Amino acid sequence: MSRPDPALLSLNTATVRAQWKLDRIIAGCERYGIRGIAPWRDQVAELGLEETRRRIRGAGLTVTGLCRGGFVTAQGRPGLAAAIEENRRAIEEAAELSAQCLVLVVGGLPDGSRDIAGARALVEEGVAAILEDARQAGLPLAIEPLHPMYAADRACINTIAQANALCERLGDGIGIAVDVYHVWWDPELERGIAATPSRRLLGFHICDWLSPTADLLTDRGMMGDGVIDIRGIRGWMQAAGYRGFHEVEIFSANNWWKRDPDEVLRTCKARHAEVC
């Protein structure tokens, strides 16, 4: 496996969101020759959609994804219509930013529910409802399977195979964002990626799994500091026809969010070359 093309490095803005606002993150990407960016909707709202678009375009960055849509099950069936509306706004924003996809964290169990099968059915119904809007906007939806530790509160789609089956039923305009943090443990991962049509591989998110992990949400590691064979998984993605960006996405309350953001970006670049 050869070293990755440095031009394929993208920065998910969560990686330095504790230190920098979006305008500084965009400038930082430009300064360090990072060619892709994946902003979060709250940051876009703060800077303003039009201003965000202008700055990203000015910096020559590709928007590898907008974070995020989904959460269609959060309030259960009574909240489905509102969730669909919110997702339609996210689709419009993503299209406005010429994002390569809108990342969907689909949602977990509604409060008080023990019905995970019902939650998964509701996800399918909700995503089907926004898919036509996404198609019309020319904006692919990317389901991100999340690690099963988040099945209750964030996403009840937890494996590539599950996401593929859903995409199969829903048809065109929807694919998968493969985040190594969420899927590295899956014994069916290689097979699952190989079985995914390349047009459906919409994103590749990288960071590392620290052992032990101190926090379920905000203790992700820098590439190379954990146990994930990132280069190996990249090889599987490449073999399946994926040619897109490698998006660094690190939530790290006690380490990387406390460091000088310039150091974080330099380290992302170096580790991308060394271990991805």
- Per CB under 5 A, which region of 80-88, 189-197, 206-214, 242-250 contacts Zn ion? 242-250
Q: Closer CB to Zn ion, residue 12 or residue 87?
A: 12
> Can you tell me the distance from the alpha carbon of 274 to that of 269, in angstroms, rounded to the nearest whole number?
9
When asked if residue 86 is in the footprint of Zn ion (CB under 5 A), the reply is no
When asked if residue 179 is in the footprint of Zn ion (CB under 5 A), the reply is yes
Please name the residues in contact with 179: beta carbons below 8 A apart, sequence gap of 6 or more. Answer: 144, 145, 146, 203, 204, 205, 206, 207, 249
Which ranges in 138-258 belong to alpha helices (H)? 160-170, 180-183, 189-194, 230-239
Cβ of residue 15: shortest distance to Zn ion, in angstroms? 11
Please name the residues in contact with 192: beta carbons below 8 A apart, sequence gap of 6 or more. Answer: 159, 160, 161, 164, 183, 186
Cβ of residue 221: shortest distance to Zn ion, in angstroms? 14
Alpha carbon separation from 128 to 73, 83, 145, 151 (Å, rounded) = 13, 12, 17, 20
When asked if residue 93 is in the footprint of Zn ion (CB under 5 A), the reply is no
Size of the site for Zn ion (CB under 5 A): 3
- Per CB under 5 A, which region of 70-78, 87-95, 191-199, 249-257 contacts Zn ion? 249-257
Cis amide bond preceding 261, omega within 30? no
- Per CB under 5 A, which region of 2-10, 42-50, 175-183, 218-226 contacts Zn ion? 175-183
Q: In this structure, what DSSP letter does residue 67 have? A: E
Q: Closer CB to Zn ion, residue 82 or residue 149?
A: 149
Cβ of residue 65: shortest distance to Zn ion, in angstroms? 8
- Per CB under 5 A, which region of 29-37, 39-47, 245-253, 256-264 contacts Zn ion? 245-253
Q: Closer CB to Zn ion, residue 55 or residue 220?
A: 220
Alpha carbon separation from 106 to 67, 82, 135, 151 (Å, rounded) = 12, 14, 18, 10
* Pairing mode of beta strands 246-248, 102-105: unpaired
- Per CB under 5 A, which region of 153-161, 179-187, 217-225, 231-239 contacts Zn ion? 179-187
Q: Residue from 72, 249, 256, 267 that binds Zn ion (CB under 5 A)?
A: 249
- Six-digit token string for 267: 């380290």
Q: Closer CB to Zn ion, residue 80 or residue 166?
A: 166
Please name the residues in contact with 53: beta carbons below 8 A apart, sequence gap of 6 or more. Answer: 96, 97, 98
When asked if residue 205 is in the footprint of Zn ion (CB under 5 A), the reply is yes
Binding site for Zn ion (CB under 5 A): 179, 205, 249
